[in-house]
Amino acid sequence: MSADSSQATEEISELSYEDARDELVGIVARIEGGSASLEESMTLWERGEALAAHCKAKLDQAQQQLDRAAPGAGDEGTGSQTGQAGDERTGSQTDQAVDEGTGSQADQAGDAIDEDDPADD
């Protein structure tokens, strides 16, 4: 890992969930807009992946705090025990928040990048 990527990872770890999500949404928009070069798109993609992982970690941490704060409510409210009610409350809403920046839009952008990747040939 280079010093630049280590510094970027450290910088991302200091971001709030909201700041990381907003930056991720901006990255997806730039990649989808098609104005970035291939090299820039790859750099943006890598940062987007790191931001998405950071957002997921923040959401997982929040879920753990909710699970600890409401012991015994896991069957119907927190999603910790794979209950359908838990999936409705925490799974789809939190996943949707991250997916706004990383879901099908980012997957499509990644597919476009993958198609042009000479390493795959």
The alpha carbons of the chain give a radius of gyration, in whole angstroms, of 17
pLDDT at position 64: 96
Q: Each residue of 11-43: b (16+ CB within 10 Å) or e?
A: ebeebebeebbebbbebbeebeeeebeeeebee
Which range has the worst mean pLDDT, 64-68, 88-92, 114-118?
A: 88-92
pLDDT at position 10: 82
**For 49-86, how does the pLDDT look when each residue is reduced to its tens digit (9 = 90+)?**
999 999 999 999 999 999 999 877 555 554 444 444 44
pLDDT at position 8: 78
